[in-house]
Amino acid sequence: MLDRTKAPEIKEIDAVSLQVAEVSHLSNGVKLHIIKSETQPVIRLDFVFKAGKVYETVKGASDLSAKMLFEGTTNYTAKQIAETVAFYGASFDNNHGYDRSEYTLYCLSKYVPDLLPVVLDVLQNPIFPAEEFAILKNRNQQNLKIQRSKNNYLATHSFTKLIYGDDHPYVFGYDESELDAITLEDVKLFYNNNYSLEGLEIFACGDISDAVEELLIKDLSELKAPSNALGNAKFETTKAKENAEAFEEIKDSLQSSIRTGLMFPHITHHDFHKLTVLNEILGGYFGSRLMRNIREEKGYTYGIYSTISPKEKDSMFYIGTDVNYEVTDKTVAEIRKEIKLLQDELVDEEELKTVQSYMIGKFLNNIATIFEQADKYKRIVLFSLQPEFYSNYITTIRTITPEEIQELAVKYLSLNNFKTAIAGRKAE
C-alpha cells in the first residue's frame, strides 16, 4: 500500500529514450517519417522543404513565396482553403525560416482524408494571383515599418550584420527598401526553383491508424513539385564586419536594446552540449547570473537572457536585454564582468547542481507529448545529428565539472571577439 507520509524516492536520469519513427522512402523520392501515438485522436503533418532564406536570389522572395501558397490554387480560392480548414477544426500554417520552409497541418485523425487533398493542392498547385500578391506585399511592407520602429528589432538586425556581414542570408530581418523591389515573378521563380521533392522531409505523428498510414503513403507518393532538384544555397563564407560595435540612434527613446555575442561551434561539435550548460549558468534561465546581477541586484532591466541559436550551417551565441538608456554602458560592463568571472573562477558546486537539476527537469517536461518528442526527432533529422544526441545531452549535463565550464568560458567566450549592437538613445 502506498505510504503517503514518505516523499517519493529521487532517482537520477541516466538516459532518455525518444520514440523512434518508421521511415518510408516513397516512390517519388520523398522521406516519410511516422511516429505513432494513440494517446489523443490528433495528427500533425509537417512538410519541410529546403526553401529558406539561404536559397534566395532576391531578398524577401522565400518569405512571400511561402505565404502566397495559401492565396489560391487551381482548385481552391484562398477563402475556400481557409474555410475548409476551419470547418474541420484544424489549423494549416507555414513557418518560414533561414534554412527551410515548413507547412504544418493539425487535425483530428479522422479528418485526414478530407483535409489531405487540400493540403497537397496548396503545396503543388498554387496560382499566385496578382491581386493577392499586391495585398500581401503591402501588408509585409507595413509590418516591416512597424518592426523597424522597435529597438529590439533594429538591435538584432544590426547585431547579425556584425556577425555575418550585410548580405548573408542569416541576417535577421530586412532593411526598409529591400521589400520594395520584389515582384510577383521573383516569387514565382523562387517557388519553381526551390520547392523540390529532393530534400523534402515529411513528418507524421499522432493517432495514425493502419488506414491513415496507407492513405498517407499512397497520396504522398503522388506528390509533385515544380523543381526536380535543389536550388543553390548561399552558404558563402561569413564576412563579419571588422568593427565590434554598431549603434542605431532612436531619438526620444527611453530604452536601449542591447545584443552582444559571437559565433559559436556548430550543433554537431563535440563541445556543443557542454556549451548549453555554460549558457544556462550565464543567462539561460530565471535564476541565471545575468538575471541575478542585472535584474535583481542592479535593477537595470525586467529581463535579460543568453541563448545559443543553431542554424544548419553554424551557430551563434548572444545576450539580449532592454534597459533604460541611461544605464546602457553600465549594463554592457556588467555583462562583460559576468563573463570574466566565469573565466576566472570555478562555478560553485551548489550552483552547478541547481542548474543541472533545472536543465534535466526542463528537458523531461519538454518531451511530455508526442508532438514534442516528434520535434526532437525532427531536429535530429534536419541537423543530421547522431541518434543518441539527446541521451548524450543528458549525460553531459549530469557529468560536466566546474573545471570544464571554466575552460569553455575561456575558450569560447573571448571578450575580444564579442560584437555588440545597440539601438536606442545615447546617454547624455
Q: What is the CATH number of the domain that holds 264?
A: 3.30.830.10
pLDDT tens string 13-39: 656 677 889 999 999 999 999 999 988
Whether 408 is in a domain gets the answer: yes
Residue 200 lies in a domain: yes
102-111, 163-172, 225-234, 331-340: least confident range: 225-234
Is residue 214 domain-shared with residue 255, that is, in the same domain? no
Of 44-48, 126-130, 392-396, 423-427, the one with minimum mean pLDDT is: 423-427
Same domain, 214 and 253: no
pLDDT over 80 (residue 53) = yes
**328 in a structural domain:** yes
Tell whether 15 is covered by a domain: no
Residue 10 has pLDDT above 60, yes or no: no
Rounded average pLDDT over 289-295: 97
| Residue 279, pLDDT above cutoff 70 | yes
Average pLDDT over residues 256-262: 97
pLDDT band at 226 (very low <50, low <70, confident <90, very high): confident
- In the predicted model, what is the mean pLDDT of residues 362-391? 94
- Does residue 228 sit within a domain? no
Instruction: With respect to residue 240, please indicate whether it lies within any of the assigned structural domains.
Output: no
- Confidence class for position 367, pLDDT limits 50, 70, 90: very high
Q: What is the pLDDT of residue 232?
A: 73
| Statement: residue 8 has pLDDT above 80 | no
Amino acid identity of residue 361, one-letter, is G
Same domain, 275 and 418: yes
Range of the domain at 404: 245-424
Q: Is the pLDDT of residue 62 over 80?
A: yes
Q: Is the pLDDT of residue 387 over 70?
A: yes
**Residue 347 to residue 357: CA distance in whole angstroms:** 15
Whether 409 and 291 map to the same domain: the answer is yes
Reported as a pLDDT band with limits 50, 70 and 90, residue 7 is low
Report the candidate in 284, 291, 342, 354 with the shortest Cα–Cα distance to residue 317: 284
Contacts 24+ apart (CB under 8 A), 92-97: 92/118, 92/119, 92/122, 94/66, 94/67, 94/69, 94/70, 96/52, 96/62, 96/63, 96/66, 96/67, 97/52, 97/53
Is the same domain home to 199 and 83?
Answer: yes
Classified as helix, coil or strand, 307 is strand
Among 221, 255, 281, identify where a domain stops. Answer: 221
36 and 96, same domain (yes or no): yes
Alpha-carbon gap, residue 303 to 290, rounded angstroms: 9
What is the spatial distance between Cα 115 and Cα 102, in angstroms, rounded to a whole number? 17
Q: Are residues 207 and 301 in the same domain?
A: no
Number of domains in the chain: 2
- What pLDDT, in 10s, does the model give residues 125-178? 999 999 999 999 999 999 999 999 999 999 999 999 999 998 899 999 998 888
Lowest mean pLDDT among 79-83, 102-106, 237-241: 237-241
Mean pLDDT, the chain, as a whole number?
A: 92
Q: Is 400 exposed, middle or buried (0-12, 13-18, 19+ CB in 10 A)?
A: buried
- In this structure, the answer to whether residues 41 and 156 fall within a common structural domain is yes
Question: Cα separation of 36 and 43, whole Å?
Answer: 9
Task: Work out the average pLDDT over 352-367.
Answer: 95
Q: Mean pLDDT across the stretch 322-327?
A: 95
Task: With a cut of 60, say whether residue 238 has pLDDT above it.
Answer: no
The answer as to whether 231 is a domain residue is: no
